[in-house]
Amino acid sequence: MTPRDFLRLLRRHWLLLLLIPATTAASIYVFTRFQPKKYTSDTVIYTGIASGYKIEGGNNDNGAGGWNATATAFDNLLSLINARDTRQEVCLRLLAWRLLQDAPGTRLRPTPPAGPDAGLLGRLTARQTAKKAQNSAYAQLPAALKARLTGPTLEETTRRVLAAYEASPTNPLYRLINSKDPLYSEEALWRITAGRVKDSDLIRLEYNASDPVVVQKTLEILTQVFIRKHQALFTGQNESVIGYFNGAAEKARQRLQAAEQRLLEFHQKHNIVDYDKQIVASTEERQLALDKYNALEMQYAGASSTLKSVEGTLSKRGVSNLKSQEIIRLRNQLAALNSQISEVELLNQAQPSASSNERLASLRRQATELSDRIGETVNSYYANAHSAQGVAVKDLLSDYTKNNLLVADLRSQLGLMRQQREVAASQYNKLVPLGAEIRKIRREVEVAEKEYLSQMEGLKQSKLSEQNGVLASQLRVVDPPYLPLDANGSKTLLLMLGGFLGSFLLLGAALVTTGMLDQTLQQPAVATRLTKLPVVGVLPRTQGLSPQQLVDAKRAEAHLGRQLLLKLQQRHPDKPYVIGVLSSQSGEGKTAVCNSLAASLREMRIKTLALFPNDHCIPLLPDEDTRFYSPLQGVAPGATLTDFVGKAVHPNMVVIVEFPALLESAYPASLLQELDLLLVAARADRAWHPADRTLFDNIKRIAHAPIELVLNGVLPEYVTDFIGKQARPSHTQPVLPAHPPQNLLTPHPAAAPPVPSEA
């Protein structure tokens, strides 16, 4: 849809677009003129959620999720305000206050402000408001029930009202709270709006009602109830958590003590001070003893080999005294002394003391003396000065003595190191199997300790959270509710304007949607696209047209005649020009098309004959230019135009044949082949159906003449689009005088050849 079509659509339905919005605005005024006045009050509460003091995390905790946590906290506050339980309690406390102030001799309610006299409309509104108050659910409460619920104090009255409400869901009080009363029902409190003041820690509560005193009191009660419920929610939500962590921490402490006691008993049983250090020391001691024992074995093997070599050399010299008992005895004594010296040295290394040093020095002196005695004894038995290898006997004896002493010393050390190795191995073998058990007990202690620390950390966090809750729940009223003196401005004018614009836009959208979905043949271009037939002319509606539109209608008929005149230029000179006017259904305007064409051709002085079916529903008077025929004559094959006319037709004549409705009755099919032009008449306000398309596709295969479309009942604006807009005269372009009629195709009737008379 183009902007031009949109404007045409609005101009076509201008009365509807004006009448319906005006009716809507008038209806809004009628139904809202007696609405009671509304009074609005508000209060502001400081929450401290974002910038309030906190114990954990500091005052500027900007960790991950801080903004989300703040938004969630405000959502929780607003949800608590709008909770059903909160609204019910506020309604009950407000009702208790109203019962007490209505009691005789009690004046808790301030006088409502008196508004200015608004004339007759104001008095009517006040009267309607008073009538609604008398018919309200509160006014319908029994007087006996009000007297029974009213106590000496506000607290007592509130207690009675709460008890009566919870007693039964069928009592009048329960029905009042769950009714649609404008002041004392739960539904009335839905008019309370709560929201955060920009990005601050403040929330604003706003309420409007018809009674200014009730508005103020409702906000006061709501503030008290909300703050109390908020504190109870924050202070009580951690009690179960703290109790859980207390019990869990005590159980974890007991398990930790039991595990530590098992570890202590295990250490005492196996004489363990520090298992890790002891196993490391035992391993090192065992390895050191083994290494030292291996080194002594190597030294002992070398010394024994040297001693055997020296003994062999001396035995070859025939020294038999070496094997005397004296030398053997002295050697054994020296070996025993060397063994004692090794033991004392080992003990002195482990635990040095003065007595050990003195004994070690004494044993060394004795060993030195025995070594000297052995040397003297050996020297006395040898007389030879040199050995057979040229070595002095004295040197051989000295080597023998040294090696003998070394072998004896190493033998004693080997014995001691063997004992030390066995002791270290036994200690190591005793500690190794204890490792798995002690690690198991240590794991139990470690797990119990971690569990205990975790429970203590949870207990600490829960207590901090409890303190944070206590701090966060301390809401403060920054701006208390006030008593409104002036009623809210009336929104009747705004509602009327909104209703007018809304209905106008909705109606306009509906019209545009209907126009976009329109599949009718009003527009010639759309008709050509849908029917696949060219549009040769249009005939507008004739009812309710303006003078200019009547002029355009005449121009449209003249335009159709001129189009037909162009078609006549292709006529055969030896036969009449036959035009068939067809339609798929009745009521498409075929007769109007035939009459318009006949009138236009006659004005052009073209001899025209119009043929109509004899079952025509429109009464027509036959004359020399109008004839009737029977459609059944054309059903038989071979029927010609002469059979329908009843006489020969002059070649210069134009014959217009109206066919019956093709989809409703029989039509002269044999006449289709004699037609020179087929005009399809179609109503512009209907759609082109598949049956129409199939019908005229079949006719195209039978008839050899072109088929063109004539739209009937076209809107005036589309007529102008098709025939063109006529230029309006002005002072610069005055209108031209009318041209005299001209003979176009045929000469003047006086000069025209005579038409044969009827046979």
- Look at residue 759 and tell me if it is in a domain: no
Task: Clarify whether residues 507 and 572 are in a common domain.
Answer: no
> Which of the two residues, 366 and 43, has the higher pLDDT score?
43
How many whole angstroms separate alpha carbon 140 and alpha carbon 686?
A: 62
Any residues with CB less than 8 A from the CB of 201 and at least 6 apart, and which? Answer: 46, 47, 48, 49, 50, 51, 52
Query: At 655, phi and psi to the nearest 5?
Result: -105, 125
Report the pLDDT averaged over residues 286-293: 80
Task: Clarify whether residues 680 and 656 are in a common domain.
Answer: yes
120: domain range? Answer: 36-236
Is residue 739 scored above 80 in pLDDT? no
pLDDT digits (tens, 9 = 90+) for 494-521: 888 998 999 999 988 888 888 788 788 8
How many whole angstroms separate alpha carbon 74 and alpha carbon 190?
A: 19
pLDDT digits (tens, 9 = 90+) for 317-369: 544 444 456 777 777 787 787 778 877 777 777 677 788 788 888 888 888 88
Percent of the chain past pLDDT 70, that is, above it, reads 81
pLDDT digits (tens, 9 = 90+) for 220-243: 999 999 888 888 877 766 677 778
Q: Which two tokens mark 380?
A: 């006395």
Q: Which of 595, 543, 545 is nearest to 710 (CA)?
A: 595
Q: Which of 566, 570, 564, 573 is nearest to 608 (CA)?
A: 564
Query: Which of 72-76, 210-214, 553-557, 631-635 has the lowest average pLDDT?
Result: 631-635
**Structural domain ending residue among the three candidates 473, 503, 518:** 518
**Structural domain ending residue among the three candidates 208, 236, 264:** 236
Task: Clarify whether residues 283 and 229 are in a common domain.
Answer: no
- Look at residue 24 and tell me if it is in a domain: yes
Task: Clarify whether residues 433 and 296 are in a common domain.
Answer: yes
Is residue 7 scored above 60 in pLDDT? yes
- Residue in the block written with tokens 């306009």: 508
Can you give the pLDDT at residue 207?
93
Q: How confident is the model at residue 122 (pLDDT cuts 50, 70, 90)?
A: low
> Which of the two residues, 725 and 213, has the higher pLDDT score?
213
Is residue 389 scored above 70 in pLDDT? no
Ramachandran category for residue 48: left, alpha or beta (phi over 0 → left; psi -120 to 50 → alpha): left
Q: Which of 417, 442, 69, 504 is nearest to 263 (CA)?
A: 442
Query: Which of 30-39, 42-51, 189-198 has the lowest average pLDDT?
Result: 30-39
- Look at residue 686 and tell me if it is in a domain: yes
Query: Which of 138-152, 292-306, 388-402 has the lowest average pLDDT?
Result: 388-402
Q: How confident is the model at residue 670 (pLDDT cuts 50, 70, 90)?
A: confident
Q: Which two tokens mark 199?
A: 């990005």
pLDDT digits (tens, 9 = 90+) for 693-724: 999 888 888 888 899 999 888 888 787 777 77
pLDDT digits (tens, 9 = 90+) for 148-206: 888 889 999 999 999 988 888 888 888 888 888 888 888 889 999 999 988 888 999 99
Is residue 57 scored above 70 in pLDDT? no
- Residue in the block written with tokens 């002072």: 731
Task: Clarify whether residues 324 and 432 are in a common domain.
Answer: yes
Can you give the pLDDT at residue 155?
92
Per the prediction, the chain carries an average pLDDT of 78
Residue 434 C-beta-side C-alpha neighbours within 13 Å: 18
Can you give the pLDDT at residue 381?
53
Can you give the pLDDT at residue 396?
66
Report the pLDDT averaged over residues 27-43: 84
Report the pLDDT averaged over residues 32-59: 75
Containing 255, the helix (H) or strand (E) segment is helix 239-269
17 close to 504: Cβ distance less than 8 angstroms: yes
Q: Which of 621, 610, 340 is nearest to 332 (CA)?
A: 340
Task: Clarify whether residues 172 and 128 are in a common domain.
Answer: yes
Query: Which of 77-81, 222-226, 521-525 has the lowest average pLDDT?
Result: 521-525
- Look at residue 694 and tell me if it is in a domain: yes
Can you give the pLDDT at residue 426?
78
Is residue 61 scored above 70 in pLDDT? no
- Residue in the block written with tokens 């002319």: 537
How many whole angstroms separate alpha carbon 551 and alpha carbon 280?
A: 125
Question: What sign results for the dihedral spanned by CA atoms 583, 666, 630, 634?
Answer: positive
Is residue 316 scored above 90 in pLDDT? no
pLDDT digits (tens, 9 = 90+) for 610-649: 888 887 766 665 667 788 888 887 666 767 777 777 677 7
Report the pLDDT averaged over residues 263-288: 80
Task: Clarify whether residues 11 and 58 are in a common domain.
Answer: no
Task: Clarify whether residues 494 and 553 are in a common domain.
Answer: no
Can you give the pLDDT at residue 559?
83
Domain count, the chain: 4
Task: Clarify whether residues 578 and 559 are in a common domain.
Answer: yes
- Three-state DSSP class for 704? coil
How many whole angstroms separate alpha carbon 248 and alpha carbon 452?
A: 8
Q: How confident is the model at residue 755 (pLDDT cuts 50, 70, 90)?
A: very low
Any residues with CB less than 8 A from the CB of 670 and at least 6 apart, and which? Answer: 634, 635, 636, 637, 638, 639, 640
Pairing type for strands 707-714 and 535-540 reads parallel
Provide the total of helices (H) and of strands (E) in the chain, helices listed first.
Answer: 22, 11
**Structural domain ending residue among the three candidates 378, 406, 441:** 441
Question: Residue 412 class from Cβ within 10 Å (0-12 exposed, 13-18 middle, 19+ buried)?
Answer: buried
Task: Clarify whether residues 68 and 132 are in a common domain.
Answer: yes
Report the pLDDT averaged over residues 523-530: 87
Percent of the chain past pLDDT 90, that is, above it, reads 11
Predicted TM-score of the model (pTM)? 0.48
- Look at residue 468 and tell me if it is in a domain: no
Task: Clarify whether residues 118 and 200 are in a common domain.
Answer: yes
Query: At 233, phi and psi to the nearest 5?
Result: -65, -40
Q: How confident is the model at residue 127 (pLDDT cuts 50, 70, 90)?
A: low
- Look at residue 630 and tell me if it is in a domain: yes
- Look at residue 447 and tell me if it is in a domain: no
- Look at residue 476 and tell me if it is in a domain: no
Q: How confident is the model at residue 411 (pLDDT cuts 50, 70, 90)?
A: confident
Report the pLDDT averaged over residues 397-423: 76
How many whole angstroms separate alpha carbon 233 and alpha carbon 501?
A: 48
Three-class secondary structure assignment of 374-396: HHHHHHHCCCCCECCCCCEHHHH
DSSP string of 472-521, one letter each residue: HT--EEEE------SPPPP-HHHHHHHHHHHHHHHHHHHHHHHHHT--BS
Ramachandran category for residue 744: left, alpha or beta (phi over 0 → left; psi -120 to 50 → alpha): alpha
Task: Clarify whether residues 352 and 409 are in a common domain.
Answer: yes
- Residue in the block written with tokens 């000469």: 747
